[in-house]
Structure 1
Amino acid sequence: MRLSSLFIPLAAFVVAAIVSVFAAQATVAVVEDRSVDAVQDSLQDAGHNWATVLGDGLQVILEGEAASEAVRFRAISISGTVVDASRVIDNMTVVDSAGIAPPDFSVEILRNDSGVSLIGLIPAASDRAAITQRIGDIAGENLPVTDLLESADYPVPDGWDPAMDFALRALAQLPRSKISVASGVVEITAISESAEQKARIETELRRTRPSDVRMALDVTAPRPVISPFTVRFILEDGAAQFDACAVSADAGERKIIAAARDVGLTGPASCTLALGAPSRTWPDAVARSIAALGELGGGTVTLSDTDITLVAPQGTAQGLFDRIVGELENDLPDVFALEAVLPAAPDAAGAGIPQFTATRSPEGNVQLRGRVSDETLNSIAENYARARFGGTDIDMGTRIVDGLPANWSVRVLAGIEALSMLSNGSVVVEPESLVVRGNTGNEGASAAISRLLIDKLGQSEQFEIDVVYVKQLDPIAGLPTPEECIGQIVGLSSERKITFEPGSATIDAAAQSLVDDIAEVLKLCAELRIEIAGYTDSQGREEMNQQLSQQRAEAVLAALRMRRVPTSSFSAIGYGEVDPIADNETEAGREANRRIEFRLIEAEPVEEQPTALEEAEAAVTEEESETGTTDEQN
């Protein structure tokens, strides 16, 4: 009895222990399965389908091959949010970095008045010290250079070095710019100080761009600030013209041009878009003043900021003049003040009107003739002319006389300054008028002269400007087109010929002058892609002829380079004996076939490259699309 009573509690304890063990094992299995399933689902939801999740008791084991350390770390982090991080065992591997594609090297350079900054990724083999030194030289001693470049040890991609070199040369020309550099591609965004500087910058960059570098160029020029803001409109004998016209918006220009056409303006017309308009009602005041001239049948109207001067034609009836001027005064916006002038009829005493003339020849010779009031004005006029015309010899033929108007010196000096704005022409100064005539290569010269004379003489003074814009005198617009450049070279080559010493690639001494002339033509041309093609006759082996023609084409290219012609976009190709232009059976024909030809290379269309932001957005979109597809499949 005593043994039986002891055995029963012991047996119950053993059975309870066995049941507890089995219950614990079942609980662990359930926890293990649920943990594995939860972690696996979370990883798949995050797009980590490459990871495999195993369970070992309460531990969660991650296996698989991660694309990078960053991806591996994200998988561990995601798992740690589902189960306790201490239960996560990392058995993952990382893809061998040697098999990863090299990164896209790129640099962004920003230059402004505060300094130069660089950010991006460059090959480790790049000469970083040389790049920093060049940028330091560009920035100068007083401006900082912020270097945020990183490097990666991968091979230097094709086109990287010429693109970086061109970008740094462009940076030296552009004080306010952003330049993006990639392999074989340079994107330039810059601000110039004027339209003329913008044209010069664009021309120079296109001329010096390497042939294996693509360029995206965006140079903007701010609107000029004009003070005083000026319009001068003349209507005479039915012919109308603007001496100067400034507006602040396109809509205002359209309103002013329309008013001018209503009173007789014909042909092309435009106004300078500029800053400095004294009032938002400026176009209304200009248009109404021009309409008043039309009602008078002629005259001149000048607006300088808020001051308006209207000069009616001589002989206008007093009643008509009063009525039109009165209506104009009432119609003008409040801020504008009108001065109207009805000139008196000339008298017979005008035969002895004093006169001063200044002329400038196309060769640059300057002559001053006519009357001056005293020796001081005579000396000042000569010295002022020397200063304005860059030290040119001044041919003086002036006379000192008494009785000239009080403002004669101002009129003489204003006339000399106006003449200096022309390539050639003349100025005639009289007591009641000033006439400027001539040619210029500056489209804004007429407006600039008008503002000058208004400022120096006053709005009510009579002056006439007859200035013709000549494209050939414009240093930018006058550049020949690529077709014109090739046409000039062909014309030179038709009269003479680039010849070589027999059997060699040495340019003959007699042909050096022709190469000189061709180089001078090319220096005046904008960016050109030119092929220098070499040809031979059919004598000798074909392979040798091809090699000789290649050497001769390269010799011409080298000769042009020695003459400081930008040849980065030129190519030299030898064609040997193909494409004969004459019969190789005769000596004259063989001589004709031994030749150098210049021809334009047609530009290939530039495929727009996506920006780094666009590439990143596309990658995110693609990843989201793939994740969505995976969710649907799951």
Structure 2
Amino acid sequence: MRLSALLIITLTFAAAAVVALVTANYSVKLIEENSEIGVRDALDNEGLTWAEVQANGLQVTLAGIAPTEAVRFRALSTAGSIVDAARVIDEMEVEAQAAIAPPRFSVEMLRNESGVSVIGLIPASTDRDATIASFNAMVDVQNVADLLETADYPAPDNWQLALDFAINTMALLPRAKISVEAGEVTIDAIADSTVAKTVMESTVRRNAPRGLRLNINIAAPRPVITPFTLRFELDEDGARFDACSADTVRARTQILQAAANAGASDDLRCTVGMGVPSPNWAKAVGQAIAAVADLGSGSVSFADADITLVAAPGTDQARFDRVVGELENALPAVFALNAQLPRLSDPNAGPPEFTATLSPEGQVQLRGRLESEGARDLADSYAKARFGSDSVYTAARIAEDLPADWSPRVLTGLEALSILSNGALTITPDSLSISGNTGDPDASAKITTLLAGKLSEGAVYDVDVFYQEKLDPVLGLPTPDECEAEIKEVLKIGKITFEPSSATIDAAALGTMDDIAEILKNCGTLPLEIHGYTDSQGRESMNLELSQSRAESVLNELRARRVLTSTFKARGFGEQNPIADNSTEAGREANRRIEFRLIRPNTVDIPEETTLETIAENSDTQTQDRTEENTDEQN
């Protein structure tokens, strides 16, 4: 009986234990599910769907890859708001961030009369000291504002190419702003004249290395046009300007459009300048051109506010009267019109005439009629002053009954002829005609302005001038490489030598200097270095000083010969880069030399610069028993 009771009690306790265990497991599972579901819902509501949630007992584990560290912390905070933060296990990772992009390297250079300023960000690999030294060489060191910063990132492709080219170009442009980026250079500059602008643009483009994007904007000041001149002509050969002036870009557009409406081609030139007599210049010009087109042929000339309209001989009188009347009534105030309808000339009549011809070789012949012996002597002397005493042949005869202004017209015509490369001048009682070829694209405008200013009001003249590129002295400039090659050829024939132990150029070498100066005068603006070298006899520091002094002497001799040397540098290299064996007299003689080298972007083959400081540092470790007296004699 007692055994049965004990068994019942034992079974009762066992059943209670089983029930307790089941109940506990169920409770833990319920807590896990509630915790996991609650945290997951909270994360989903916050848009953190990337996070994975797993509950294990009272602990909640967060896994997954967070896009940033801030987002990972946000997921932890969200989970901690649902369950005790101490129960949250963080197994999340953060997505690897991309490497920081390198900065945009660029430099802005500004040069004017005050000096040079340079600002920008350059790679640490760029030689900053050499860059600033280049600017110091352009202007006084006190006038260089250095605002450069560096960043330790690899230099992008073509960065050094663009920077070197920009520095070399800045040396040629006294007033400019140059922007540099990897592989691209933008130049904004101011030239003193249109001719200087053309030379600058040509030089910069020739020096630009391949693979470089180049943007050039060189501005020239507007010329002062006196008198403010325009001449438009319409005949069987078409419509054209002999000269065209406008006060604004907008006015130029209006004038060219009026010419196009009258049948002119699209490649017309019109100079924007100062000196316009009225703000209604473009309106008056457009009306006058339209009047010529209405007549069918003829010409109209403006000299400030004076307008001369000449119809073609044979124009219908009624039509002429109508067109002139309409134009007179339409012209703005200030402008005065002088209209002419020439009579048809008798082809059998022989009017008095004066002619002058200029050959391509520069020979001038004066023929025809002049009113007196004094007038003939005056024309002969004036022509010789313009074209050279040995280039003028005068065969004009004396004639009576010539117009009173005959001699002034002859002299004005000869002055106009001197602007051409070759051509002809013809003067009759009723007109002046000049024709020919020129290498100056503005020659026609210059001649028209000259005639309008010096001939009497209402004078009839014709300008028929053709521009030819082959005659253009600017386009005909040799390339920098050609100039360098020509100088090398001269130095092969005649070496630049110096007096013993001196930087004075030997008298026998002055002819060579003359030849080199003539070459450089025809080369325009040229970035050039004059290198001086010695042999290896004597102390290295003395050789370096002597070579520098001799290079500077060559530079001074060029200046004395009126060579523009603002872009030249003199550099001495001492005994560096020998071209022959210094152990023989012939070799030492060859090594004592002057060389001319173009300054190019990424220039190669130029010896490393030796400084007095490096020589001084090395001198303690070298033993030299050569005497300075022997050095002076040999060098």
In the superposition, the TM-score normalised over structure 1's length comes to: 0.51
Equivalent residue number for residue 461 of structure 2: 463
C-alpha distance in 1, partners of 2:478/2:130?
Answer: 38
1:241 aligns with 2:240: yes
**1:351 aligned counterpart, secondary structure:** coil
Shift of 1:223: 4.8
Shift of 1:190: 1.8
The one-letter amino acid paired with 2:111 is: R
Shift of 1:457: 0.8
Counterpart pick for 1:434 among 399, 414, 432: 432
C-alpha distance in 1, partners of 2:366/2:136?
Answer: 50
Equivalent residue number for residue 623 of structure 1: none
- 8 Å CA contact 1:307–1:338 kept in 2: the answer is yes
Counterpart pick for 2:421 among 397, 420, 423: 423
Per-residue displacement from partner, 1:478-520 (whole Å, max 9, x unpaired)? 8999xxx9xxxxxxxxxxxxxxxxxxxxxxxxxxxxxxxxxx9
C-alpha distance in 1, partners of 2:459/2:278?
Answer: 24
- 8 Å CA contact 1:186–1:216 kept in 2: the answer is yes
Alignment of 1:393-412 (within 5 A): 393-399=390-396, 401=398, 403=400, 404-412=402-410
Equivalent residue number for residue 309 of structure 1: 308
Moved more, 156-165 or 231-240: 156-165
Equivalent residue number for residue 219 of structure 1: 218
Per-residue displacement from partner, 1:172-200 (whole Å, max 9, x unpaired)? 22122112345665432223345544343
The one-letter amino acid paired with 2:165 is: F
Pair 570,293 (structure 1): closer, same or farther in 2 beyond 3 Å: same
1:282 aligns with 2:281: yes
Shift of 1:215: 4.0
- 8 Å CA contact 2:351–2:428 kept in 1: the answer is no
The one-letter amino acid paired with 1:353 is: P
Shift of 1:349: 10
C-alpha distance in 1, partners of 2:216/2:347?
Answer: 64
Pair 118,372 (structure 1): closer, same or farther in 2 beyond 3 Å: farther
1:473 aligns with 2:452: no
* Count of aligned residue pairs for this structure pair: 398
**1:458 aligned counterpart, secondary structure:** coil
Equivalent residue number for residue 115 of structure 2: 115
Alignment of 1:93-492 (within 5 A): 106-120=106-120, 134-139=134-139, 145-150=143-148, 157=155, 163-181=162-180, 185-211=184-210, 215-221=214-220, 223-236=222-235, 239-248=238-247, 252-253=251-252, 255-257=254-256, 259-260=258-259, 265=263, 267-276=265-274, 277-314=276-313, 320-343=319-342, 351=350, 353-355=352-354, 357-372=355-370, 381=379, 384-385=382-383, 388-389=386-387, 393-399=390-396, 401=398, 403=400, 404-475=402-473
- 8 Å CA contact 2:366–2:396 kept in 1: the answer is no
C-alpha distance in 1, partners of 2:237/2:161?
Answer: 60
Q: Tell me, which stretches of 5 or more residues in structure 2 are unaligned?
A: 1-67, 74-98, 483-518, 524-594, 605-635
- 8 Å CA contact 2:135–2:144 kept in 1: the answer is no
Equivalent residue number for residue 537 of structure 2: none
Per-residue displacement from partner, 1:209-242 (whole Å, max 9, x unpaired)? 3457654433344554433332212234585433
Pair 202,308 (structure 1): closer, same or farther in 2 beyond 3 Å: same
- 8 Å CA contact 1:120–1:148 kept in 2: the answer is no
C-alpha distance in 2, partners of 1:395/1:266?
Answer: 38
C-alpha distance in 2, partners of 1:305/1:435?
Answer: 21
Moved more, 131-140 or 320-329: 131-140
Shift of 1:110: 0.9
Pair 153,361 (structure 1): closer, same or farther in 2 beyond 3 Å: same
The one-letter amino acid paired with 1:108 is: E
**1:173 aligned counterpart, secondary structure:** coil
Shift of 1:436: 1.1
Shift of 1:149: 3.5
**2:227 aligned counterpart, secondary structure:** coil
- 8 Å CA contact 1:211–1:570 kept in 2: the answer is no
Pair 236,187 (structure 1): closer, same or farther in 2 beyond 3 Å: closer
C-alpha distance in 1, partners of 2:229/2:382?
Answer: 26
Shift of 1:454: 0.9
Per-residue displacement from partner, 1:392-441 (whole Å, max 9, x unpaired)? 84222244636444333322222222222222211122332211111223
**1:227 aligned counterpart, secondary structure:** coil
- 8 Å CA contact 1:435–1:463 kept in 2: the answer is yes
C-alpha distance in 2, partners of 1:387/1:135?
Answer: 46
Pair 126,414 (structure 1): closer, same or farther in 2 beyond 3 Å: same
Identity of aligned residues (%): 44
- 8 Å CA contact 2:367–2:397 kept in 1: the answer is no
Pair 186,379 (structure 1): closer, same or farther in 2 beyond 3 Å: farther
**2:365 aligned counterpart, secondary structure:** strand
The one-letter amino acid paired with 2:172 is: Q
Q: Tell me, which stretches of 5 or more residues in structure 1 are unaligned?
A: 1-46, 53-98, 486-519, 525-561, 572-634
C-alpha distance in 2, partners of 1:247/1:478?
Answer: 29
The one-letter amino acid paired with 1:461 is: A
Pair 153,332 (structure 1): closer, same or farther in 2 beyond 3 Å: closer
Shift of 1:362: 2.5
The one-letter amino acid paired with 2:464 is: D
C-alpha distance in 1, partners of 2:229/2:150?
Answer: 58
Shift of 1:305: 2.5
Shift of 1:374: 5.6
The one-letter amino acid paired with 2:285 is: V
Shift of 1:455: 1.0
**2:404 aligned counterpart, secondary structure:** coil
The one-letter amino acid paired with 1:291 is: A
**2:362 aligned counterpart, secondary structure:** coil
C-alpha distance in 1, partners of 2:239/2:182?
Answer: 56
C-alpha distance in 2, partners of 1:257/1:185?
Answer: 35
- 8 Å CA contact 2:365–2:395 kept in 1: the answer is no
Alignment of 1:507-586 (within 5 A): none
Equivalent residue number for residue 497 of structure 1: none
In the superposition, the TM-score normalised over structure 2's length comes to: 0.51
Shift of 1:118: 2.8
- 8 Å CA contact 2:260–2:266 kept in 1: the answer is no
Pair 345,569 (structure 1): closer, same or farther in 2 beyond 3 Å: farther
Pair 102,393 (structure 1): closer, same or farther in 2 beyond 3 Å: farther
Shift of 1:281: 2.9
Larger radius of gyration, structure 1 or 2? 2
Per-residue displacement from partner, 1:591-619 (whole Å, max 9, x unpaired)? xxxxxxxxxxxxxxxxxxxxxxxxxxxxx
- 8 Å CA contact 2:373–2:398 kept in 1: the answer is no
C-alpha distance in 1, partners of 2:321/2:199?
Answer: 51
Pair 380,182 (structure 1): closer, same or farther in 2 beyond 3 Å: farther
Pair 320,153 (structure 1): closer, same or farther in 2 beyond 3 Å: closer
